[in-house]
Structure 1
Amino acid sequence: MQEVEMMPYILTSRLDDQAQNFFESMRNAYFPVGRNQVPAHLMLFHQLPYEPDTLSYMETIRSEVFAAEVTRLFFLGNGVAYAVESEQLNALHTTIKKHFHHVLIPQDLQGYRPHITVQNKVSPQTARDTMAMLLKDFEPFTMDILGMDLWRYLGGKWDWKAFYPFDKL
């Protein structure tokens, strides 16, 4: 386990309650028991520096609440996720990426493919079966992005630290 002072921040998008409840129920249904240690989430960054400057910078981000489209399901090899599309979400990610570019890990520097994982760490066949089942009833839908949540990574579990709300329309 990493030393506590070395454990980074994680940044996620805050979903509206209906979407959060939906994805949480999907995760609870399809994620392997014992491996589902964190809430359903739309990741922005896997590692931001654990330092006061990160908190200060997050306070400067301004946005209005915006819509994001859940457009399709996709196969992860050992799991299933819902793809999310939003120009505003991509712009937000780009803005934050530019600020932290010099300290980001390779995973956060690569192309941003927003998604919400509802199953992971299963056999490819189990994932294919889940995908086939979920595709039967899937219809694209819209959700609202209400702000950003900052978490502290604790070697598996996450500890919620702050919410940065967006302005209501």
Structure 2
Amino acid sequence: MTPTFSPLVLTLKLDRATFERFNHLRQQYFPPAKNTVPAHITLFHALPGEQEATIQCDLQQFCAIAPPLLLEFPKLRFLGRGVAVEVDCPKLVSLHQQFAQTWSNWLTQQDRQEYRSHLTIQNKAPEAEARLLYEQLTARWQPCHGSGDGLLLWHYEGGPWSLANEFLFAAPDTTSLS
């Protein structure tokens, strides 16, 4: 019998204060029955589980020399049936591009699309409800910032995810964090 492997999801590990802020918003506005994972910034939605050892090795090597990332959260984005916080971080886009090139043979159509980082605080809601929330939150939104402190690799199991491993960025940044 051939073993089955669950897909892997790769997300950015947020600093504690940023995670708590956005996870609170997600718990407040995401439809409760559909909110099975905490607040996150996804880099890849479905990496092949059968390549987990290689992926973990790549992540370990990268994170051992990578500095934390400065993240800017300038505005909200209307998703049609939800609301997301936009993430401005050119180094995060570069990180995504680097791994997309390394893992190009494994990527799904979704993971091959142009990377537009965001953090979803509401999804799968009726469009009118989402539009109202977007307008309410936009009226009082204050740009803020936080940091990405590492990468989290998850097993996707149909609903909640289970953590496969955490990879912290190890190197201090001696350049500007833009």
Q: TM-score range by the shorter chain?
A: over 0.9
In the alignment, the residues of structure 1 paired with residue 27 and residue 153 of structure 2 have an alpha-carbon distance, to the nearest angstrom, of: 22
TM-score (norm 1): 0.95
Deviates more, 1:109-118 or 1:134-143: 134-143
**In 1, are the aligned partners of 2:68 and 2:169 still within 8 Å (CA)?**
yes
- Structure 1: segments with no counterpart, 5+ residues: none
- Structure with the higher fraction of residues in strand conformation: 1
Letter in 2 for 1:92: L
For these two proteins, the number of residue pairs brought into alignment is: 167
**In 1, are the aligned partners of 2:149 and 2:169 still within 8 Å (CA)?**
yes
Per the alignment, residue 175 of structure 2 pairs with none
Sort the Cα spacing of 1:99 and 1:34 in 2 relative to 1 into closer, same or farther, 3 A: same
SS at match of 2:4: helix
Per the alignment, residue 57 of structure 1 pairs with 58
SS at match of 1:108: helix
Q: Does 1:66 align with 2:69?
A: yes
Q: What is the aligned counterpart of 1:75 among 74, 78, 83?
A: 78
- Structure 2: segments with no counterpart, 5+ residues: 173-178
**In 1, are the aligned partners of 2:66 and 2:171 still within 8 Å (CA)?**
no
Per the alignment, residue 21 of structure 2 pairs with 22
Sort the Cα spacing of 1:152 and 1:4 in 2 relative to 1 into closer, same or farther, 3 A: farther
Sort the Cα spacing of 1:154 and 1:142 in 2 relative to 1 into closer, same or farther, 3 A: same
Aligned-residue identity in percent: 33
Shift in Å at residue 4 of structure 1? 7.7
Coordinate RMSD, CA, aligned: 1.4
**In 2, are the aligned partners of 1:4 and 1:154 still within 8 Å (CA)?**
no
